Amino acid sequence: MKRPRPAPAATGDTPVVVAARRTAIGTAGHAFKLVTADRLASAVIAALAGEVACLGEPVDDVVLGNCMGPGGNLARVSALGAGLDRSVPGVTIDRQCGSGLAAILIAGQAVRSGEMNVVIAGGTESASTAPVRAHRGGAPYERAPFAPAGHPDPDMGAAAEALGVERGVARDRQDRYACASHAKAVAAREAGGFDGEIVPVEGRGHDQRPRLLRPASLARLPAAFVPGGAVTAGNSAPNSDGAAAVAVVPERLRAGLPGLRLLAGAVVGCDPALPGWGPVPAVRRLLERTGVSMERIEAVEIVEAFAAQTLAVTDALGLDPLGADGERVCGDGGALALGHPWGASGAVVVTRLFARLVRGGAPPGTLGLATAAVGGGLGVAALFEVV
């Protein structure tokens, strides 16, 4: 029998992430090479719906980010595939690599407005099964434009190279950062640090990619995008498959569940020639709006698309991930080690914050930051607080 759907409150409430899950992440063409984006997402959505069933509230909507999927409304397809009621509509958004985080911000806005009580939000990507795109009657093309004619529209690898050069990020730092990301991820995996967040799909419950690397080995790799450049396959995140999502509810309904209060979010544009810079103005706007200093933030999760881009951003924000802030910034490794499923990565970093702070037992009031750069020149950021 279908449960009646109670009307949301007349006024909104502070949104709280009370559950966060993801699939393992597989390198494109390997672990999940035959698993479509909706199937990856459905597994995560079903797990989250089960976790929040104790609240006695039906899921109002599913918001999913996706970049390169088959089209259509993947969120609706995934919601039905997860067994949710047919009344759950679903909406799919595209902010490229920031899509998963942007979806969570949209869910937070719906809850804060009072229009919805329970929203599952995140992202999904299957680089392995993404369709080949072509204009009608024309040749296939790799990607849609990030910017129109007359504006810079670099590929992300070349853009990361340009940002690294502009901000003085040397090759050896990039390689050392990549090694550190892998080392942290291997240690977390061996300690069971990812077990509480991963929903097994096709029998795989562990990330495929993390492995111990040596700077000397990385130093021998050739430039991947610009002749003579510093950005290589070893210090770049690989194209990947995976999904991640969170459950967002108003604080008045969380029934004592621990979680992450969504304090504020920011989406900012920047120079499309240097899209990797986007997190800097986004985070700065977020901190200015909330009156929070970077020193107060205990955990930072950034989508590590490239070591050059990550270090340029952390340098600008006054963070030292290869020194004093090594455990603070991507403390269990990031996309360089785990992989980069584009539309999902922004939700992966929130799932990691949830694991590090909520499952890790951080005291109430602890602050966490999630951020991502976006092709075309955007930055997305969100500030959370443990409750």
Catalytic positions, written as ranges = 97, 340
Q: 267 and 102 in contact (C-beta within 8 Å)?
A: yes
Rounded CA-CA distance 159/255 in Å is: 46
The sign of the CA dihedral 300, 47, 258, 382 is positive
Rounded CA-CA distance 207/189 in Å is: 8
Q: Which of 52, 49, 10 is nearest to 254 (CA)?
A: 52
Token representation of residue 365: 């009031």
Rounded CA-CA distance 132/284 in Å is: 38
Q: 126 and 241 in contact (C-beta within 8 Å)?
A: yes
Phi, psi dihedral angles at 297 (to 5 degrees) = -90, 120
**Alpha-carbon distance values, 40 to 13, 126, 183 (Å):** 31, 8, 26
Q: Which of 97, 105, 98 is nearest to 63 (CA)?
A: 105
The vertex-259 CA angle with 373 and 96, nearest 5°, equals 20
Beta bridge partners of 62: 120
